[in-house]
Structure 1
Amino acid sequence: MATSMAAALAASLPAPQAAPTPAAPTHDVIPASMSKVIDIEAEIPVTSVQLDGLVVSKIIKHSSDSASHTAHGLLLGLDLDGTLEISGSFPLPHNSGDEDDRSSKTTGRYQASVLRSLKEVRADDSVVGFYQSTTMGAFFSHTLVDTQAIHQDKLRHGGIVIVHDVSQTTRGNASFRAFRLSREFLNAYRKNSFSARSLISNKLTFSSLLEEVPLKIRTNPLLSAFIETLTEPHRSTLPQAHPSETFSAAVPPLYSTSLDLGNAALTKNLEHVIETMDSYKTEEGNLAYHARQIAREKARAESYVAKRKEENASRVAQGLAPLPEEDISRLFKIPPEPSRLESLLLLGQVDAYAKTLEGTSSTTLVKMYAAKASSEI
């Protein structure tokens, strides 16, 4: 029945037509002077990242409007002569709770539809990486590592991840950094081996999981000139202007963030440090528990093997045949060594929080001394 049905379907299909002879290409040969700039075979490694000013604005807006602490999105652009030029981006929907198959499929369909729309309007539709927002510099997470590992295998030159620190932006400093996974981490990740021996052999620490790529921001010269004109103070045209309004600017400088002496950021930073240290202590306790279990099972297996050897030696001395050797792995379930990736990521978060705390506290201390000195004048 199935054979007749397949034959009927095959008979109903139109007869295959002969493939037309492909026409000779009419494009010109790439000049020798441009052969190294137009990197078709992806032989020139990416040494720097150039971020367009419009992309910076999009990432800042998405991160500030996002309900969660981590906002994700894709980066679009191309690599040219060793520089990854990022000219576009679009946000990805946030999935609350654990990501299941349905939410992943929804995100995939949304991503495909946006890329299809960009292609229809002849915009950049080549994915070169993704961006992620963070607070206080603590961007080490399983999501970032897993996503970048997927991109590293599928994207041209491995792709990069742009990390935007929202807490720095609220203080008037736009923080953008570009990273990619190190070769040593990729070797351990592909083998799914993060044991102590693997970390030692690959020389992996939390500071060597990612390697930073130099990043520069490119703005339109006309836009830069326009903003400079708005921020430049000019003399008032009013005949009887107040002395404070004699010189004014369309975009006056803001001193609220620069001279803020509040300690809310320090308190929040200390809370994050304590929470991360507690998580790290819990993870170390779990690793110690698994290590004791492994040592206990290994001791039982070694004791069984030693006892079997003594028994076989006594049987041979009595002229009896020794007992057959048994598979120790079937008798004793020795658990595998647990992964230490979570510990590395938590150490990276602690280091980031500590560096942010150092910078924030030193700046606040200078402001307090300046405020005290000004009040005594």
Structure 2
Amino acid sequence: MAANTMAAALAASLPAPQAAPAPATPSYEAIPASMAKVIDTEGEIPIKNIQLDGLVVSKIIKHGRDMASASSSVPAYGLLLGLDLDGTLEVSNCFAMPNSSDEDERTGKAAARYQSAMLRSLKEVQSDDSIVGFYQSTTLGAFFSQTLVDSLAAQRDRLRRGGVVVVHARGNAAFRAFRLTPSFIDAYKRKKFNTQSLIQHRLTFSSILEEVPLVIRTNALMNALIGTFTEATQEPYEDPAGSVIPTLAVPQSSLPPSFSGLDLEPPSYISSNLERIGEGLDDYKTEENNVSYLLRQITRERARADAYVQKRREENAARISAGLAPLPEEDVSRLFKIPAEPSRLDSMLLLGQLDSHAKTLENLASSQLVKTFASRV
């Protein structure tokens, strides 16, 4: 009784509850009629190609060059910002993510805080702050890794377009864009990469990623800068006697000449590529041995389970013929711990790395052979 009185007193001392104000109707900026058919607000138009701005290209090249000069084995990694318009993913800006020797740092709290701070700063200056994918540099053409697959799969769930990766080969201006295939996404969601799943989804190392056409767009200022570098200037010719002859002008370019293409010595990265291929073969052999060992264990346990079931059936048949009640059926999975079939994803990724190294070695060796035979002619 006293408790009810105290509760009533407390309720009376509290202010009377007020009705919650009705939420204001959100107002959206109307899309101009000229852009209504271009901007895909519902995300129904599939991405057909990717357009990189010249600023993005220069930033990625600089980041990859800085990582290579630091003798770091960690690839350059950053986020791409832009907008998808009428099936074209326009990448207008990018920024680098913190470098770390630990690949798991990309999903850590430090990287998340840095990413949030960068996006907040870009929004304050009214720059593009919509993440559409990420870029990654590669050495000797190999970019297949578990981290890359996990990053693309994570962006597949968070981004409307699923996210893409732009791969930049260090040492040149080669850019390629990729995204996960629908069959691999289905297998990844099921977390099944056994033999039956690979056959069902028709998965190989070459069907994990699909390439997206990529174009590079430069603005007028960058075109003018490149034209200034490549345009030859006429310099007066000066003979050994010291007299200047203005009529004889020698064209000179603003860029210094490069004679690396005339070097007949085999470059060091060919041997590095061969070493990578050897290491990749060793890793693949080790992975295959582990898978074979697990498959032998599965076969052994299944054979024991089948023998147990067959023995129980024979005992029940004998008991029934003798007029006795059969023994109850037991759950074989509780008596025998049959391990699940191992995943083949690591093997596929290693095969993808070996294929990339082999193609890079083919290109390097073919160009070196051409120079060698040309020097003998």
TM-score above 0.5, yes or no: yes
Equivalent pair of 1:230/1:250 in contact (CA under 8 Å): yes
Of residues 70, 74, 77 in structure 2, which corresponds to 1:72?
Answer: 77
| Cα shift readout 1:145-194 (whole Å, capped 9, x = no counterpart) | 0000010111121111001111xx2xxx3111000000000000000000
Any residues of structure 2 matched to 1:140-151 within 5 Å, and which? 140-151=144-155
Deviations 1:294-347 (A, max 9, x none): 000000000000000000100111111100000000000000000000000000
Q: 1:276 to 1:26 in 2, by over 3 A?
A: closer
Number of residue pairs matched?
A: 358
Query: Once the two structures are superposed, what CA deviation does each residue of 1:39-83 show, in whole Å capped at 9, x if it has no partner?
Result: 111111110000111111111111121233312110000001111
Distance 1:289 1:360 in 2: 38
1:369 maps onto 2:370 in alignment? no
Asked whether the 8 Å contact 2:54–2:217 carries over to 1, the reply is: yes
Matches within 5 A, 1:3-14: none
What SS does the corresponding residue of 1:345 show, helix, strand or coil?
A: helix
Q: CA deviation at 1:98?
A: 5.9
Matched, 1:281 2:285: yes
**Cα gap change, 1:152 to 1:26, in 2 (>3 Å):** closer
**Highest Rg: 1 or 2?**
2
Work out which of the residue numbers 330, 343, 350 in structure 2 matches 1:346.
350
| Counterpart in the other structure of 2:306 | 302
Change (3 A) 1:231 1:242: farther
- Give distance in 1, aligned partners of 2:317 and 2:286: 47
> Equivalent residue of 2:108, what SS?
helix
- Counterpart amino acid of 2:98? P
Provide the rounded CA distance (Å) in 2 between the counterparts of 1:261 and 1:340: 41
What's 1:48 paired with?
Answer: 49
Amino acid at match of 1:227: I
Stretch of structure 1 that moved more, 242-251 or 343-352: 242-251
Higher mean C-alpha displacement, 90-99 vs 117-126:
90-99
Residue 135 of structure 2 corresponds to residue 120 of structure 1? no
CA distance in 2, matches of 1:69, 1:258: 31
The answer (yes or no) to whether the contact 2:50–2:212 under 8 Å persists in 1 is: yes
What is the aligned partner in structure 2 of residue 201 from structure 1? 200
RMSD (Å), alpha carbons: 2.6
Cα contact 1:277–1:350 (8 A) shared by 2: yes
Q: CA distance change for structure 1 residues 26 and 280 in 2, over 3 Å: closer, same or farther?
A: closer
Stretch moving more, 309-318 or 60-69? 60-69
Q: Distance in 2 between matches of 1:98 and 1:242?
A: 62
Shift of 1:369: 1.6
SS of corresponding position for 1:123: coil
- What are structure 1's unaligned runs of at least 5 residues? none
* Contact 1:231/1:253 (8 A) holds in 2: no
Distance 1:62 1:34 in 2: 35
Pairwise CA distance, 1:16? 7.0
SS at match of 1:34: coil
Distance change >3 Å, CA 154–CA 27, structure 1 → 2: closer
Partner AA of 2:181 in structure 1: S
> How far, CA to CA, are the matches of 2:85 and 2:265 in structure 1?
45
Structure 2 unaligned blocks of 5 or more: 1-6
